[in-house]
C-alpha cells in the first residue's frame, strides 16, 4: 500500500483565515499536537510576513522533533533569508517557495511574462538550494495554468533542485477529473518526475477540496496538503481529517494510506478550534458534533441492533468515546426505552407508551430532549392522585401598560368542562385567580418557586407551589417549556392533592413514575 505524506498548513494557510492570529505559544501548542497526530510535514508560517511570525516558526522549529518543519517564502531573497533565520534550529528544515504561473496571475498580479516567471522561480530555487536540502516549489494557481507551461515549470523546478513540486488549486476552481488529469500529465510528460515527490494543495471554494485531493492521489500524488478542520483562506483548505479517514475507510479502493495516529484527530480538531476561535460546524465530516450522532428513530433502531447499519467509521477510530443517540422529535420507542434504562427507569409496556407519548409532545416543543428533560417529565406527575381537575387550556393577556387577565378551561370530574376569566397583578396571579373561580376552592398560596431544570432558551421550567386550605397543605409541581403553563399545572396538581388529602385523611404522598 502506497504511503501518502501529510503536509499540514494549519499554522500558515489555516492562519490566513480571516480573524485568525496565532501567537508563538499557540503555534507551538498546535505543532506539538500535530506531532502527536503523526503529521509528516508541518508548515509553521511565513517568516517574512512579520517578526512575530518568524519567531513563531522558529519556536515550532525548536519544539518539534519528529516532523519536517517548513517555512513559506516568495521567490525573493529577503523572504528566503527570513526562512533560513527561522529554521536555523530545525532538525529537519524545508523551504517552501512559490510563484504564480497562471495567465491571470502573470498578467495582473506579477506583471511578468512566462520567461520572467521561469527565471525568477529558478533563481530563487537555486539561491535556496545553497542552504536547504529540502525545497518544495509551488506554481501558485496551477489549476488555471496552461498544462504545457505547468510541465515546463515543473521541469525547471526539478532541474534547479526542488525535492517536492506542489500543485495548488489556489482558488478552488478545479473539478476532480481536471485536477487528476494535471497529475497524470505531469507524470507522463516531465523528465525525471520520479526523482521528486508530487503534492496537491486544494481549496474548498466549490466544496471540492477533499474530492480533488483524492483525485490527485489516484493519479500519483505522493503528498496532500491541508489543514485541521479545513480552515484556511476564504472557504478553507482540504481538511486533513477527511483525507485521512477516506483513505483509512476505503484503503482497498485507494490502495494508499497515511501513517497518522487517527486516535488523535478529535483532540487535534478541538485544540485548533479553541485556539483559532473557528467553531467547527455540527455537520462537519469526521469532527463535527453530529458526525457520530443519530436522531431519527429508524437510524437509532438500526444503531442499537448493529452499529455498522448507519456508521462507516467508529467514533473510537478518531479518539471519541462513543456514538450519541440524540432524543428528539424524530426518535422512536427503541431509543427511548434504551435511554430510560440508562437513566435507571424500568417501565412496563403501558407506562412506556404513556411516557413515549409525553416525550413526543415535549420533543415537538424542544430541539433536543436531554436526560434532565426526561427525568423532569417522568417525575412530574403523581399517578395515584385522582385528577378531580384537569387543566385543558389557558390563555393569558399581558401588556406592561394593562392589567393582565387569564382565561382557563378545566375539565372537572363528573361535571364536564368549565371556563372562567380573571384579572391579577401579574400573569401568574391572573391564572391562579381564574383557576380559583372555576374550581370554587378557597385556598391560600403558601409558596411559589420556579427554576430552570434544563439548559438553553427552550429549557424546561419547573414550578413548585404549596397550597393551604383549613390547615391542610399540599404541594404541586408542573414542568413545561412555558413557565405560565408550568405554573398553572403546578397549581392544579396541588389542588388535586389537597382534595385527595381532604378525602383520605392520614394518607401519605406516594410519588411514582408517570
Ligand atoms: C496563495 C497564498 O496563500 S500565498 C501566501 C499568502 N500569504 C500572505 O500573503 C500572508 C503574508 N503576507 C504579508 O505579510 C505581506 O503580503 C508580505 C510581507 C509578504 C509582503 O508585503 P508587501 O511587501 O507590503 O507587499 P504586498 O503584500 O502588498 O504585495 C505583494 C507583492 O509581492 C509580489 N509577489 C506575490 N507573490 C510573489 C512571489 N511568490 N514571489 C515574488 N513576489 C511575489 C506581488 O507581485 C507584490 O509585488 P509588488 O509590490 O512589486 O507589486
Ligand atoms: C502558497 C500556496 C501553495 C498556496 O497556499 C496556494 O496556492 O493556495
Ligand atoms: Mg493555499
Q: Please give the grid coordinates belonging to residue 449.
A: 418557586
Q: 429-457: b or e for each residue (b if 16 or more CB lie within 10 Å)? A: bbbbbbbbebbebebeeeebeeeebbeee
Q: What are phi and psi of 216, to 5 degrees?
A: -65, -45
Q: Calculate the average pLDDT of the chain.
A: 93
The closest residue, in CA terms, to atom 5 on ligand 2 is: 13
Query: Annotation-wise, does 203 bind a ligand?
Result: yes
What DSSP string describes 123-187? HHHHHHHTT-S-EEEEEETGGGS-HHHHHHHHHHHHHHT-SEEEEEETTS---HHHHHHHHHHHH
* Number of neighbouring beta carbons within 10 Å of residue 464: 18
Ligand 2 centroid vs 184 CA: distance in angstroms? 21
Nearest to residue 15, comparing CAs of 189, 388, 276, 230? 276
Q: What percent of the chain has pLDDT over 70?
A: 96
Residue with cell 414542568: 479
Q: Which residue has the cell 414550578?
A: 463
Q: Residue 134's pLDDT is what?
A: 98
Residue 418: Cβ-neighbour burial (10 angstroms; 0-12, 13-18, 19+): middle
**Which residues, other chains included, contact 417 with Cβ-Cβ below 8 Å and sequence gap of 6+?**
392, 409, 410, 411
Closest by CA to 170, choosing from 140, 210, 211, is: 140
Give the integer Cα–Cα distance in Å for 317 and 228: 16
C-alpha cell at 379: 417525575
- Per-residue pLDDT, averaged over 402-411, amounts to 96
Task: Provide the β-strand partners of residue 410.
Answer: 391, 418
Question: Does residue 458 carry a pLDDT above 90?
Answer: no
Identify the pLDDT of residue 380: 62
Instruction: Starting from the CA of residue 121, give the closest ligand.
Output: 1
Q: Which residues contact 117 (CB under 8 A, 6 or more apart)?
A: 99, 100, 101, 106, 110, 153
Give residue-wise pLDDT tens across range 271-299: 999 999 999 999 999 999 999 999 999 99
- Over residues 68-97, mean pLDDT: 98
Q: Is 237 annotated as a binding residue?
A: yes
Closest CA to 491 of 421, 451, 453, 444: 444
71, 110, 167, 236: which to mutate for ligand 1, most atoms within 8 A of CB? 110
Q: Ligand 3 center to residue 170 CA distance, Å?
A: 5
Q: Report residue 214 as a C-alpha cell.
A: 483524492
The mean per-residue pLDDT over the stretch 426-447 comes to: 96
Give the ipTM: 0.98
Give the model's pLDDT for residue 477: 83
Who has greater pLDDT, 456 or 351? 351
pLDDT of residue 135 exceeding 70, the answer is yes
Task: Say whether pLDDT at 412 is over 80.
Answer: yes
**Structural domains present in the chain:** 2-276 (3.20.20.70), 298-305+318-378 (no CATH), 389-503 (3.30.160.270)
| Range of lowest pLDDT (35-39, 159-163, 372-376) | 372-376
CA distances from 510 to 116, 187, 487, 501, 513 (A): 90, 80, 22, 12, 10
pLDDT of residue 371: 78
Q: Yes or no: say if 467 and 389 are a contact pair by the CB < 8 Å rule.
A: no
Q: Which residue, among 30, 31, 46, 41, has the nearest Cα to 6 in the 3D structure?
A: 41
Ligand-binding annotation for 201, yes or no, is yes
Output the ligand 2 site: residues, CB below 6 A.
13, 72, 98, 138, 140, 166, 168, 170, 201, 203
Nearest CA to 358 out of 168, 366, 135 is that of: 366
Ligand 1 proximity of 95 Cβ (cutoff 6 Å): no
User: What pLDDT is recorded for position 505?
Assistant: 62
Q: Which long-range contacts (CB under 8 A, 24 or more apart) does 336-341 make?
A: 338/304, 339/371, 339/374, 340/374, 340/378
Q: Which residue has the higher pLDDT, 123 or 367?
A: 123
3-class secondary structure, 69: strand
Q: Tell me the average pLDDT across 162-166.
A: 99
CA of 172 to the centre of ligand 3 (A): 9
- Strand pairing report for 416-423 and 405-412: antiparallel
Q: Would you say residue 384 has pLDDT above 60? A: no
Place 46 in a pLDDT band, splitting at 50, 70 and 90.
Answer: very high
CA 108 vs CA 101, 102, 144: distances in Å:
11, 10, 14
Determine phi and psi for 411, rounding to 5 degrees. Answer: -85, 120
Does the pLDDT value for residue 508 go beyond 60?
no
Alpha carbons 67 and 13: distance in angstroms, whole number: 18
Determine which residue's CA is closest to atom 8 belonging to ligand 2.
Answer: 170
Q: State yes or no: 330 annotated in a binding site.
A: no
- The whole-number average pLDDT for the span 404-410 is 97
pLDDT, position 462: 83
Q: How far does residue 233's CA lie from ligand 1's centre (Å)?
A: 15
Ligand 2, atom 2: closest residue by C-alpha = 140
* Residue 464: per-residue pLDDT: 85
What is the grid cell recorded at 105? 496571475
- Give backbone dihedrals phi and psi of 303, rounded to 5 degrees, phi first: -60, -40
Ligand lying nearest the CA atom of residue 78:
1
| % of the chain at pLDDT higher than 90 | 81
Q: What is the pLDDT of residue 191?
A: 98
Specify the residue for cell string 407551589: 465
Pairing type for strands 41-45 and 5-8 reads parallel
More confident residue, 323 or 177: 177
What b-and-e string marks burial along 149-172, b requiring 16 or more CB atoms within 10 Å of the CB? Answer: bbbbbbbbbbebbbbbbbbbbbbb
Amino acid at each position: 500500500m502506497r504511503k501518502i505524506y501529510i503536509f499540514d498548513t494549519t499554522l500558515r494557510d489555516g492562519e490566513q483565515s480571516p480573524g485568525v492570529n496565532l501567537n508563538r505559544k499557540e503555534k507551538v501548542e498546535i505543532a506539538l499536537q500535530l506531532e502527536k497526530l503523526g503529521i509528516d510535514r508541518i508548515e509553521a508560517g511565513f517568516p517574512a510576513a512579520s517578526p512575530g511570525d518568524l519567531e513563531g516558526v522558529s519556536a515550532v522549529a525548536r519544539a518539534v522533533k519528529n516532523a519536517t518543519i517548513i517555512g513559506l517564502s516568495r521567490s525573493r531573497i529577503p523572504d528566503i533569508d527570513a526562512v533560513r533565520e527561522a529554521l536555523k534550529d530545525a532538525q529537519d528544515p524545508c523551504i517552501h517557495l512559490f510563484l504564480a504561473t497562471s495567465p491571470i496571475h502573470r498578467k495582473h498580479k506579477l506583471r511578468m511574462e512566462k520567461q520572467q516567471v521561469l527565471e525568477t522561480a529558478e533563481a530563487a530555487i537555486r539561491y535556496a538550494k545553497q542552504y536547504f536540502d529540502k525545497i518544495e516549489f509551488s506554481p501558485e494557481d496551477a489549476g488555471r495554468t496552461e498544462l504545457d507551461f505547468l510541465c515546463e515549470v515543473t521541469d525547471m523546478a526539478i532541474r534547479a533542485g526542488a525535492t517536492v513540486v506542489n500543485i495548488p488549486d489556489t482558488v478552488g476552481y478545479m473539478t476532480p477529473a481536471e485536477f487528476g488529469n494535471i497529475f497524470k500529465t505531469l507524470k507522463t510528460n516531465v523528465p525525471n518526475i520520479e526523482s521528486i515527490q508530487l503534492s496537491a494543495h486544494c481549496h474548498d471554494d466549490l466544496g471540492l477540496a477533499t474530492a480533488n485531493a483524492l483525485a490527485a492521489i489516484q493519479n500519483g500524488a505522493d503528498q496532500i496538503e491541508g489543514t485541521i478542520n479545513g480552515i484556511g483562506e476564504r472557504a478553507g483548505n482540504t481538511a486533513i481529517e477527511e483525507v485521512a479517514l477516506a483513505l483509512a475507510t476505503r484503503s482497498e479502493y485507494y490502495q494508499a494510506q497515511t501513517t497518522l495516529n487517527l486516535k488523535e484527530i478529535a483532540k487535534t480538531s478541538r485544540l485548533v478550534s479553541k485556539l483559532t476561535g473557528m467553531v467547527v460546524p455540527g455537520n462537519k465530516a469526521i469532527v463535527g458534533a453530529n458526525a457520530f450522532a443519530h436522531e431519527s428513530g429508524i437510524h437509532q433502531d438500526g444503531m442499537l441492533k448493529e452499529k455498522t447499519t448507519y456508521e462507516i467509521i467508529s467514533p473510537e477510530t478518531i479518539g471519541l468515546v462513543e456514538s450519541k443517540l440524540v432524543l428528539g422529535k424524530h426518535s422512536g420507542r427503541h431509543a427511548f426505552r434504551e435511554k430510560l434504562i440508562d437513566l435507571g427507569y424500568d417501565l412496563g409496556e403501558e407506562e412506556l407508551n404513556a411516557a413515549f407519548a409525553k416525550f413526543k409532545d415535549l420533543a415537538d416543543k424542544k430541539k433536543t430532549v436531554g436526560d434532565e428533560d426526561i427525568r423532569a417529565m417522568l417525575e412530574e406527575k403523581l399517578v395515584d392522585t385522582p385528577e378531580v381537575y384537569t387543566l385543558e387550556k389557558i390563555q393569558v393577556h399581558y401588556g406592561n401598560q394593562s392589567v393582565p387577565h387569564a382565561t382557563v378551561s378545566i375539565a372537572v370530574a363528573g361535571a364536564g368542562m368549565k371556563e372562567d376569566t380573571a384579572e391579577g397583578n401579574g400573569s401568574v396571579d391572573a391564572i391562579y385567580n381564574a383557576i380559583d373561580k372555576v374550581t370554587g376552592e378557597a385556598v391560600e398560596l403558601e409558596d411559589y418557586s420556579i427554576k430552570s431544570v434544563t439548559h438553553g432558551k427552550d429549557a424546561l421550567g419547573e414550578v413548585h407551589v404549596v397550597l393551604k386550605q383549613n390547615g391542610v397543605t399540599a404541594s404541586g409541581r408542573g414542568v413545561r417549556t412555558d413557565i405560565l403553563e408550568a405554573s398553572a399545572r403546578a397549581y392544579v396538581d396541588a389542588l388535586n392533592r389537597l382534595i385527595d388529602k381532604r378525602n383520605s385523611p392520614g394518607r401519605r404522598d406516594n410519588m411514582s413514575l408517570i
